[in-house]
Structure 1
Amino acid sequence: MRKHLIIAAISGALVLGGTAITSPVVNAAGNGPEYQGHETINTQILHTYQEMMTFLETQNKKQAQMEVEVIGQTVKGRDIPLVKYMSDPANPTILYLAQQHGDEALTTEGMLDYIKSLGTGKNKGVLDNVNILLIPMYNADGAMGDVNYELEDYAAKGPRHLTRYNANQVDLNRDHEARTQPETQALHQNVLQKYDIDYMIDLHHQGAQWVKDDKYVSGAIFYPYPEHTKADVLYKSKQLGAVVYEAIEPKGWGHLAKYAGKGSAYGAGIGVYGIANEYDISTLLLEMRGTADNAFDFEVLGQKSNGYLTKQSVIGMEKTAQAIADGSVLNESIEFWEDLPVQESILED
């Protein structure tokens, strides 16, 4: 049976499970068409794993500064590519990680756009002063729906489903301490322990129900857990967040909040927490609104929002790399965090 969440707007109120609550949402900055079973979600518009690999091969031939390294394989044997721009070992290094959850596909779309732009004059000079590492599709099995369990009642009508977990039904973003999965082992052994990484942005999606100031958010940001992070690592994480906030919030569609959700409680297996703690990497969680596929309708956002959400990913990567390259990230004030509201869910009565 399909897991619909039925929401009806009646005289400015939401009716949820028979309980009326005041609706905080009209047509907001971060708003986009809500799926709720009313729009076709087609996975054909998203890069498949093979299309992504072909894209990377093409760009690698075009871009002199680009290199692609295979860091390991997924459960199903797919190569996990690491895209590298390593101009000088002495430069600060940033890692961008996309699609830990296979249904969070616009982070991959944005990363591929960003990789292409690194081969143009738009980012001229940036690569001379910062090393950039990118993993465009960390959970390729989940992204392809090639898993060892049934995917029932999912929203997408395209040729494949996308699911949060890897092929073994493990949440890779809860596996950074135990490291039971080949994907997690590859990331830690062949990236985090191999390269001297200063910064990381962990790109994700969240459900479509989150609001700030009575408006749907376009996304959310969060830093490592203060009690489990060195002071200087935490400070630089917050500075990284300041760059992202200042770049996105002024956009007409930009509406960022402080993250709140299942991952807001500390766990060493969560990437933004455990990686910052273990490797002293200043880390930022950047969440886009809505997933690309799900069995729960309210997790999915209508794909007419894909454009601005993909752009949000690109801007987050582009501006942080520029700020690290020119050193301006070190001058960023972190005071905005004190006033940044925590997002709220309209599903809570």
Structure 2
Amino acid sequence: MKKSKKFLTVTLASAMVFGALTTAALPVGAVGNGPNYNGNESIRTSILTTYEEMVDFLKKQEARQANLELEVIGQSVKGRDLYVAKFITNPENPTILFLTQQHGNEQLATEGALEFIKHLGTNKTKGVLDNVNVIVVPMLNPDGAMGDVNFSTDNYIADGGRHLTRANANNVDLNREHNKDISVMEPEARALYENVFEKYEIDYLIDLHHQGTQSALDNKYVSGSILYPTNGEVDPHVIENSKKLGAVVYHEIESKGWGLLGKYNGGSGDNIGRNGIAKRYGIATLLFEMRGMSDHTNPSAVLGQKSNGYLIKQSIATLDSTVRAIADGSIETVDTSFWETLPFQRNKVAEEEGEEDGE
């Protein structure tokens, strides 16, 4: 049974600062219908943050930020430390967890999460962080992110010195581990469960992924898609809170004018994160699938690097809006009626159908 959490009032000044993080001008339709939508533009993994660069960044931010504490929750198959960034000012506050890169070839959400961690360290955000706890798992699958795996990556298409794989080093999809006994999970998933879910009282979770490039609504490419838990054993109250979490994200992205979100056509299995976590722990979960992957064996799944900037901004907007809504309590009254009419996205090309398209 979860203990009650308090909701405090975020200061207007802090809210304005958080809002300023995502107000940089972007062209209308940039994410949904911007350049390079066919995945044929240059794709270089060398411009993406490496695992070592991420660790260095996190340690420097920890040294600069009074509210930030890093924790190593375990090791990957190849022995890389798995880091968690924590902003926990009051255990009684509601807590949100952001999880990125269960799939190693889906990195732009991680780039956005790292940028958001830096912004959380500014003095102007203190009014927000006093009212909500934030936990970020910025790269759950570092072996896949670095292409340091026990299987061939010859068919992956990106250039830049390394490939990024969906699976972990053992060629296991970490987002299919969530209904297992913790003791038999892959090392990365086991560390997440033993040292995050079993240790911290988490109220909300956003699982950030990337899908292919060809998903569309009314023949317009989407910038991403969202979905709440759809497993029949998830508590209805948890599903309702998950829909509220999605509503915050939907209204934020739609208000920008450059994003277009559809409903993700996902499965109901409890081996998937948004279902299994909600079922096991009663955590409100939201899947967010951003457009385009960083590497893949299928060219239509990968988005050219010119799209990176605004997709990273979309990730930051997602984190920003949900933290603010939880901190000021507005998530409790957000309008969720859009879920009743939000259409499922559809792929423009048949070959992209299937599990590799996202979640």
The answer to whether TM tops 0.5 is yes
Cα deviation, residue 213, structure 1: 2.1
Counterpart amino acid of residue 333 in structure 2: N
Cα deviation, residue 169, structure 1: 0.2
Q: Secondary structure at the match of 2:285?
A: strand
Deviates more, 1:148-157 or 1:200-209: 148-157
CA 1:321–1:276 in 2, change beyond 3 Å: closer, same or farther?
same
- Deviations for 1:155-186, whole angstroms, at most 9, x for unmatched residues? 21101000100000000000112253000100
Distance 1:167 1:348 in 2: 29
Distance 1:37 1:189 in 2: 38
CA 1:126–1:346 in 2, change beyond 3 Å: closer, same or farther?
same
2:212 is equivalent to residue 207 of structure 1:
yes
- Deviations for 1:226-272, whole angstroms, at most 9, x for unmatched residues? 52211111111000000000100122320000012xxx121111000
User: Partner of 1:43 in structure 2?
Assistant: 45
2:193 is equivalent to residue 191 of structure 1:
no
Cα deviation, residue 37, structure 1: 6.6
Counterpart amino acid of residue 120 in structure 1: T
- For residues 43-122 of structure 1, the aligned pairs below 5 Å read 43-122=45-124
Distance 1:240 1:77 in 2: 34
User: Partner of 2:22 in structure 1?
Assistant: none
Flag structure 1 segments of 5+ consecutive residues without an equivalent: 1-26
| Count of residues in Structure 1 that have an aligned counterpart in Structure 2 | 320
Q: Secondary structure at the match of 2:232?
A: helix
Distance 1:219 1:199 in 2: 20
Cα deviation, residue 67, structure 1: 0.1
Cα deviation, residue 33, structure 1: 3.1
Distance 2:231 2:152 in 1: 39
- For residues 1-349 of structure 1, the aligned pairs below 5 Å read 30-34=32-36, 38-178=40-180, 179-225=184-230, 227-260=232-265, 264-348=266-350
Deviates more, 1:98-107 or 1:34-43: 34-43
Report if aligned partners of 2:38, 2:214 keep a CA contact under 8 Å in 1.
no
Percent pairwise identity: 56
Q: Secondary structure at the match of 1:285?
A: strand
Report if aligned partners of 1:176, 1:274 keep a CA contact under 8 Å in 2.
yes
Q: Secondary structure at the match of 2:300?
A: helix
Report if aligned partners of 2:31, 2:307 keep a CA contact under 8 Å in 1.
no
What is the TM-score of this pair, normalised by structure 1?
0.89
Q: Secondary structure at the match of 1:100?
A: coil
Distance 2:303 2:255 in 1: 22
Q: Secondary structure at the match of 1:286?
A: strand
Report if aligned partners of 1:85, 1:127 keep a CA contact under 8 Å in 2.
yes
Counterpart amino acid of residue 109 in structure 2: T
Counterpart amino acid of residue 62 in structure 1: R
- Deviations for 1:111-166, whole angstroms, at most 9, x for unmatched residues? 00000000114533111010110000000000000000000222211010001000
Distance 1:345 1:28 in 2: 19
Distance 1:199 1:121 in 2: 25
Counterpart amino acid of residue 344 in structure 2: V
| Higher helix fraction (1 or 2) | 2
